[in-house]
Structure 1
Amino acid sequence: MPLGSGGVDEAGRGPLAGAVLAAVVVLAPGQLISGVRDSKQLSAARREALVERIQREALGFALGRADVAEIDRLNILQASLLAMERAVAGLSQPPAELLVDGNRAPRFAGFAGPVRCLVGGDRSSPAIAAASILAKVARDAEMIELDRSYPDYGFARHKGYPTAAHRAALMRLGPCPAHRHSYAPVRLAAGRGVHP
């Protein structure tokens, strides 16, 4: 019998590079995990420290992702929803309900329980807050790994977000394979630099 609520959130809609990741974390009714709140309110070190606690105390958790090619083919909203579907499909046992941060949710094929969208859910739902932390930490780790392949872009620092330094590197070097070519700043930089 399904137990608990599965909170679903994504990380990486705004960056110019890298995948979008989603996480689902299942918590028992009324369960709180000490220190867990919206990932945007926590330092990177604090988020990383909470990952093990979330994974240990949650009834279940899983990650899903949509890569750059899927983002460019589908658009970022549809790719985010796809990553969420993949996260939920990765659970070994479905929760009683799903709580999705934001105002749109995928269909979650094979999930028969109720699905509720909560705008600002990462601030109001402990399960969504925990999912936001797992998604953000996993995505940051992917961007640090990408930085090893493309060190001149500074992915380890800005995680692909359109900072001044990232935009300057993009205009100087042109886009690399990790960039989202469907995004206007990346299209503008196409044909420049060393990465065709």
Structure 2
Amino acid sequence: MFKQFNNIETSFRHVKLFTFVIIAACVVVCCFTIHRSYLKISEAEGRIYILANEKAFEASAEDRNDNLPVEARSHIRSFHSYFFTLDPDNEVIKRNIGRALYLADGSARKQYDDLQESNFYANIISGNISQTVAADSIIVEFQEIPFRFRYHGKQKIIRPTAIVTRTLITEGQLRIVARSDNNPHGFLIERWNIIENTDLDSKRR
């Protein structure tokens, strides 16, 4: 009889141990499932689908910090392109300068006003002069906010009788602001200053 009781007690211990093992396994499976579900949801939230011409294209949503250097350099490049790309057409000048001034603070407006007062834009129009700019290098320091930058580029000034190439070196700061249609990168150039703009070469046409 005592042997029977011992068998029942042993069986009960085995059943209890088996039950604990099953419960622990269920907890582990549930935790794993919740973790994987969270990862899948996060991955799904990082996908953006764009519908164009009745076709869906997948785009990726990334943390802004991943692309910060690229966006900062693109903002600086766009500003200089708008500000220094000019043609002998008042509407073109106004449009380009207007776009540039959305990307910078009053320091760019002051440079524009100074050029306007010196009849720079009037001379562009009356002299049938076109002007373009190309970046050589854009150096941005991301250690501190606002980010300091230096732009190195070359201007090409096309006159009726000659083509002049000039160096262009500017510096300033970048402050992070809200994105908009007029400022898609979400930066604002501050304390912008032209520190060098001298002739490199001149060729007759």
User: Structure 1-normalised TM-score?
Assistant: 0.24
Tell me which of the two structures has the higher relative contact order, counting C-alpha pairs closer than 8 angstroms and 6 or more residues apart. Answer: 1
User: Structure 2-normalised TM-score?
Assistant: 0.23
Q: Which has the higher strand share?
A: 2
